């Protein structure tokens, strides 16, 4: 197959832990052509979406993990699959990319995850479709509603709807002297909607990343355990990743959501679960492939490329 990966700049990728690099290495190992394409290079003209794509040679060395072979402008229909793997923020430019990729689909390109599905699933708000699996949650922008929720719950997590990597996440108690300024800051004085969730004490055992590939759960998750004094388990916030088998509850959540999300064209999904509760549904560029394989031996990249080969025979 000839594959195009839409990525962040290559020199910004940390090959020793990057899931996209793991995918590309596995595809290359199987003899597939691997090309990298930057989101800002996407164009539409005369009915065709394309971009300047760089063919890569992949190496196991982490310092020099890829070499650029050729670079040329190509239509996306010239690839067997296009994989959208750019990290958030999910801003207007990200939305624009989904519009262009949707036009490419209309021309016959195979895009994973499907651009409409990415656009329709805010990674925070998407959990509201599955209320049976979530802790008590409020989505609001008015300080009156948020303050009432904090008073009722006593201990909550507040977070923006467009954040990633644990950015701008606050734990706020009923008696917190800074609660008003935190609410004002996150909502931009009532101009932006945020999410409030009842604090889940089981975060001490980790914020679990459960991966779904073609609707099926990977048998191991990565529990991201907060460092001392932190309420965020994100690896970028200093958390420690520990691979572990899925619990019965993890599997219950994954098996309920998997077929629904796969039917919408979401080939790869990352569910975030704390304790027994679903907290996020990640659809942009789910990660943790490398950590799970290194600690459990489960070859997540291999499972992903298997699924991609089934989708694009």
- DSSP-derived pairing of the beta strands 81-84 and 66-75: unpaired
Please confirm, yes or no, whether 107 is among the known catalytic residues.
no
Strand partners of residue 5: 36, 83
Give just the sign of the alpha carbon dihedral 81, 303, 210, 241.
negative
Catalytic residue among 114, 159, 179, 208: 159
Please confirm, yes or no, whether 224 is among the known catalytic residues.
yes
CA dihedral angle for residue 161, residue 122, residue 164, residue 154, rounded to 10 degrees: 40
Assign 161 to helix, strand or coil.
coil
Name residue, tokens 């080939």. Answer: 267
Please confirm, yes or no, whether 202 is among the known catalytic residues.
no
Catalytic residue among 209, 234, 250, 291: 209
Catalytic residue among 105, 250, 280, 291: 280
Please confirm, yes or no, whether 110 is among the known catalytic residues.
no
Q: How many CB atoms lie within 10 A of CB 106?
A: 10
Catalytic residue among 18, 26, 105, 272: 272
Catalytic residue among 179, 208, 232, 293: 232
Between the alpha carbon of residue 169 and those of residues 102, 119, 163, 164, 223, the distances in Å are: 32, 22, 8, 9, 18
Please confirm, yes or no, whether 122 is among the known catalytic residues.
no
Token pair recorded at residue 271: 């569910």
Mutual orientation of helices 19-29 and 289-296 as an angle, nearest 10°?
A: 70
Please confirm, yes or no, whether 209 is among the known catalytic residues.
yes
Catalytic residue among 39, 124, 179, 208: 124
Catalytic residue among 179, 234, 282, 293: 282
Strand partners of residue 54: 36, 71
Please confirm, yes or no, whether 29 is among the known catalytic residues.
no
- DSSP-derived pairing of the beta strands 137-140 and 194-198: antiparallel
Please confirm, yes or no, whether 272 is among the known catalytic residues.
yes
Assign 201 to helix, strand or coil.
helix
In contact, 206 and 213? CB cutoff 8 Å? no
- DSSP-derived pairing of the beta strands 2-7 and 33-38: parallel
Catalytically annotated residues:
124, 159, 209, 224, 232, 272, 280, 282
């Amino acid at each position: 197959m000839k594959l195009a990966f839409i990525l962040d700049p290559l020199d910004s990728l940390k090959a020793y832990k990057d899931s996209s690099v793991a995918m590309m290495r596995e595809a290359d190992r199987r003899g597939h052509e691997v090309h990298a394409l930057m989101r800002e290079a996407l164009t539409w003209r005369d009915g065709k979406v394309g971009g300047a794509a760089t063919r890569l040679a992949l190496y196991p060395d982490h310092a020099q993990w890829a070499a650029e072979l050729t670079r040329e402008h190509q239509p996306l229909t010239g690839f067997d699959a296009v994989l959208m793997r750019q990290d958030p923020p999910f801003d207007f430019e990200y939305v624009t990319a989904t519009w262009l990729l949707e036009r490419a689909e209309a021309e016959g390109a195979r895009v994973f995850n499907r651009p409409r599905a990415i656009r329709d699933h805010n990674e925070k708000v998407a959990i509201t479709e599955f209320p049976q699996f979530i802790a008590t949650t409020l989505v609001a922008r008015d300080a009156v509603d948020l303050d009432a929720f904090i008073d009722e719950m006593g201990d909550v997590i507040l977070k923006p709807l467009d954040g990633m990597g644990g950015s701008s996440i606050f734990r706020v108690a009923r008696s917190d002297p800074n609660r008003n300024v935190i609410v004002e800051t996150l909502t931009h004085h009532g101009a932006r909607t945020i999410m409030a969730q009842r604090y889940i004490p089981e975060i001490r055992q980790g914020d679990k990343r459960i991966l779904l590939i073609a609707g099926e759960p990977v048998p191991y998750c990565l529990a991201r355990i907060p460092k001392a004094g932190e309420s965020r388990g994100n690896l970028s916030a200093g958390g420690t990743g520990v691979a572990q088998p899925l619990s019965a509850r993890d599997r219950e959540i994954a098996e309920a959501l998997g077929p629904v999300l796969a039917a919408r064209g979401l080939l790869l999904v990352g569910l975030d679960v704390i304790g027994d509760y679903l907290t996020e549904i990640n659809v942009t560029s789910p990660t943790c492939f490398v950590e799970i394989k290194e600690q459990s031996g489960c070859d997540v990249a291999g499972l992903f490329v298997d699924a991609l080969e089934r989708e694009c025979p």
